Amino acid sequence: MDNYFMIGLRLLGALGLLIYGMRMMSEALQKMAGPQLRHILAKMTTNRLTGMLTGTFVTCTVQSSSATTVMTVSFVSAGLLTLSQAISIIMGANIGTTLTAWIMSLGYSVDLTSIVFPAFFIGMVLIYRKKHRYLGDFLFGTAFLFLSLVMLSAAGKDMDLEHNEAAIRFFSSFDTSSYLTVFAFLAIGTIITCIVQSSAAVMAITILLVSTGVLPIYLGIALVMGENIGTTATANLAAMGAGTQARRAALAHLLFNVFGVIWVLIVFYPFVNFVCSLVGYDASVGGQPERLPVVLAMFHTLFNVTNTLILISFIPQIERIVCWILPEKQQKPKEEFSLQYIQANLVQTPEISILQAQKETIRFADYVHEMFNVVRLAVKETDDKRFEEYFSQISDKEEFADRMEIEIANYLGKVSDDHLSDDTKKKIRQMIRVIGELESIADTCYSQARILERYHTLGQHFTSEQIIQLNSMMDLCDNSLNLMSNVIHGHRNEFTAKNVYRLENEINNLRDSLKTKNIENVNNQLYDYKLGMTFGDMVNSLERLNDYIVNVIQTKFGK
């Protein structure tokens, strides 16, 4: 009994090491090829076939279908992928994940010990050489993965289940020719995978059990089918708090695997016997347990490849079904504060996080530009009631801008806790500075609204000449905001620093000219001192607003 207890602890430790190694490999590969993977997912999805191949390639690269699926759901949420593109990528991800099963089956038929320790040593050397630390992380993860397979194989042999009468009687008590038994093991595989959140770990246990010969291959394959359904829980949980499109993409992943399980169940025994024959294994005779891990890997591959070939032509129909199940919610006229692209529960890798924050920063920039446009309307408004409506809009927008800055900064702070590349750290510092400057622009717009409110309270209004002069300066600020918007939207190469400095010089010169003219007008008693002071405050505030705009542009230019 004590012996089995210790073996059980070894199995748990090996499974933990397996999950950690897979995660370490996946994260290291994503950090090494993060930007490239993002561009591949975003651009190489022109049709269903390329989308499917892209999903397969990316999943084979990062060794995690969950990572690919969550990444895809995040891109749908950020508006970079359409739902149909996402569905084709997810289909490919299901094919790509079959590579994991082949690696595991290899671990039960080949002694990987000779690979593990050199991988640990080389990985440690590369980690200490910071330039190649992600490659070192990948080798460490690979070594942990292979070591866990060696440990699982050794634990399986020590359990000696093939000679354990109690284990043999237990598994023999199940009628493998009954669909009820198949359904029961399918449900067990689904539930365990949902709980563990790792189909690789459940696959490892399944391979361990069938390799001992005590678990019949039919029941092992039923567990694998359950794992295919259970693995969809990761994306669905991640998309739970996201937008409708993201939840639709996650649901499509579930429907894809459920459909596959349904058609396999219809032809279950002939299909399993066909897979066994490909490997040279006779399910009716039994024996040769060393071939069973290969049978599982072969079934996993044929299941996902066949399912994709069947459904790839029906992507538009799948899209319509998930849209029908999850209809778009009617937007309320006035929404409470919410970020559009950042979904904290979708954070999977720094690359995804940075992308979400960049999209939210673009939205922030557009938002402060809208705020400035309301200020422009308020400047020339003489009706006090109408002005109050403008002032209320500006006040609400300023509160919204404050919240946006805090939420984006907090999100970037959480991302900073991860192990990041120097390039990613630089992007985060840049974005934190940009959102700070954008919030200053919003504060300045609110200050201008307060200036206008004070002079409205006194019953004063700008003269037609002053409104023309302010409009001239606001036109230049608007040009600066347009330039800032283009740079933030990623069109930086279309402009140079000269464009920025030219606009800044024009605004500074106009400010000096208007201040001089304002003093002359007050001295000539064209309007009183209070109105002149209000006008001067507005001119100074507009010049200060442009300074913040210039700071944003310079930050994006890397200065």
Residue 237 contacts residue 348 (beta carbons within 8 Å): no
Residue 416 confidence (pLDDT) above 80: no
Q: Is 66 exposed, middle or buried (0-12, 13-18, 19+ CB in 10 A)?
A: buried
Confidence class for position 40, pLDDT limits 50, 70, 90:
low
186-200, 270-284, 412-426, 475-489: lowest mean pLDDT where?
412-426
pLDDT at 428: 85
Mean pLDDT, residues 128-134: 74
Q: Which of 396, 399, 393 is nearest to 381 (CA)?
A: 393
pLDDT at 335: 43
**Quick one: tokens of 553?**
């542009």
Side chain identity at residue 158, one-letter code:
D
pLDDT at 41: 57
Confidence class for position 199, pLDDT limits 50, 70, 90:
confident
pLDDT at 374: 92
Is pTM, for the whole model, over 0.75? no
Mean pLDDT, residues 362-379: 90
93-97, 212-216, 333-337, 521-525: lowest mean pLDDT where?
333-337
Confidence class for position 337, pLDDT limits 50, 70, 90:
low
pLDDT at 296: 87
Q: Between the ranges 437-451, 461-475, 491-505, where is the mean pLDDT highest?
A: 437-451
Tell me what percent of the residues of the chain surpass a pLDDT of 70. 79
pLDDT at 333: 42
Side chain identity at residue 79, one-letter code:
G
pLDDT at 34: 56
Q: Which of 372, 420, 433 is nearest to 398 (CA)?
A: 372
Residue 54 contacts residue 41 (beta carbons within 8 Å): yes
Q: Which residue has the higher pLDDT, 316 or 152?
A: 316
Average confidence score pLDDT of the chain: 79
Distance between CA atoms of 388 and 374, rounded to whole angstroms? 12
pLDDT at 244: 77
Q: Is 203 exposed, middle or buried (0-12, 13-18, 19+ CB in 10 A)?
A: buried
Residue 69 confidence (pLDDT) above 80: no
Angle at 156 between CA 139 and CA 181, to 5 degrees: 110
Q: Which of 557, 548, 554, 556 is nearest to 368 (CA)?
A: 548
CATH no. of 349-556: 1.20.58.220
Q: Which residue has the higher pLDDT, 92 or 164?
A: 92
User: Which ranges in the chain are annotated with CATH 1.20.58.220?
Assistant: 349-556
The per-residue pLDDT for range 266-305, each reduced to its tens digit, is 999 999 889 888 888 876 666 666 778 888 889 989 998 9
